[in-house]
Amino acid sequence: MKVAILSESQTDEEAIRVLVSGILGRQTQPVEYFQPRSRGWPSILDVLPTVLMHLYYRTDAEALVVVADSDDSPVHAVSHEQPDGVEKDCRLCKLRHAVVQTQQKLSPVAGRQKIKTAVGLAVPAIEAWYLCGRDPQVSESAWQRGIQSRPGSFARKQLKQAVYGSEFLPEGQARRRAIEESQRLANDLTLLQTLFPGGFGALARDLRNW
């Protein structure tokens, strides 16, 4: 299956592909597309419509996976998926809205199927996913509690330090670490989905509905 992945770095995109394959139970093939100049938020939201249109009209991609860090924005919840429950500041809700709006604008192409999509939100950053099962203090609920009671106790810089051993690890070494952790998690995704039900759980549900 040909799947494009859009996230905040190429390193994260390669690691996310491992998790996607783990959820789907099969390997996926990458799809090349233009590389955005910036990968952070809100650049991902801004470039998403262009990426989706490019994949639909100019490639043979079957699907697109989008994952962004939540940073300090609200954690996605199942209640957001109700007709009147969308959270205006939730990044996952914003990404899904952008996908729906863009899909509605795409013109039919003979022999072309609608591109499948899946959206995830890493809380507060994807390094928290990589630490799942290694650090029992890391989870979506721990992040929410930390914001309320102990500001700075669950800092994103600390997550990077815990995963990579340094906040500024060379790209090649960071890629190897991210992929290693994703391969470990892909063997049994139950804990990741349990501890990160809003952001990773949403991604897993989208993928399983393909």
Does the pLDDT at position 12 exceed 70?
yes
Residues of the domain holding 41: 3-208
**Amino acid 84: pLDDT:** 76
The Cα 66–Cα 51 span in angstroms is 11
Assess contact for 52 and 99: CB atoms under 8 A: yes
Domain count, the chain: 1
pLDDT class of 101 with cuts at 50, 70, 90:
very high
Average pLDDT over residues 129-144: 92
**Amino acid 187: pLDDT:** 95
**Amino acid 153: pLDDT:** 46
**Amino acid 87: pLDDT:** 77
Q: Using only the alpha carbons of the chain, give its radius of gyration.
A: 17
Quote the tokens at residue 16: 């996310």
- For residue 114, with 0-12 CB atoms within 10 Å meaning exposed, 13-18 middle and 19 or more buried, which class applies? exposed
pLDDT digits (tens, 9 = 90+) for 14-61: 999 999 999 999 999 999 898 887 788 999 999 999 999 999 999 999
Backbone φ, ψ for residue 62 (5° rounding): -95, -20
- Per the model's pLDDT, the better-predicted residue between 165 and 148 turns out to be 165
